[in-house]
A and B are shown apart, each in its own frame.
Chain A
């Protein structure tokens, strides 16, 4: 039986998401069954660009306006410089023949990586399934993650 690996993607920065997808695609290539549990800021990686506009209440609306979703809105954890560092990083990655985060996510799906989106954070932020990209396999909670993690030989929190 294939070995299992899980990743909790808690962070919403481009570099951290890239690290998660680098390890996820490699593990899947090595024959592992990989699950990524997206929670909190990590949900931004799988949110649509325009998500969260219809959330109820002014606080949620304001929050979703500030905390923009979509891969293109993820900042760098260091030297983002209001997007300048991000653009430079993307240019350097392209020059190094590295896939973009969007390409990595698509690769991960091709390799059978499962995406689980955390319903607690989604509920708190006033979001719904319509706010997420079609890559999401399941909307679930911590118990579902732990069910996978218990069988995992590698479990990462990023």
Chain B
């Protein structure tokens, strides 16, 4: 999947992947996609809740080789 911005949160625990995702999304424009790589086992659930609360669209959530990869499309404010 194509993403304009990539964020590597490997080896970071809650709340950092979500806080850093928010910081990146603030800098992006609506329609752009953020790819987040994370290893925190809580991340899949957290990123779903984050998208549900903020209205950003979770395009895909994958797991491979112990890493989670989420693709989030920024919604218009």
Contact = CB atoms under 8 A, between A and B. Distances in A.
Interface in B17-76: 18-19, 21-23, 49-50, 53-54
Name the residue among B14, B16, B19, B49 with the largest chain A CB count within 10 angstroms.
B19
A29 B18 contact: yes
* B interface secondary structure, majority: helix
Contact of B19 (A32, A96, A111): A111
Contact of B22 (A29, A97, A99): A29
Interface residues of B, number: 15
Nearest to A22: B15
Contacts of A28: 22
Given A31-B53, A31-B54, A26 B13 contact: no
Given A25-B15, A110-B23, 10 more contacts: A26-B19, A29-B23, A30-B22, A30-B54, A31-B53, A32-B53, A97-B11, A98-B16, A107-B19, A111-B19
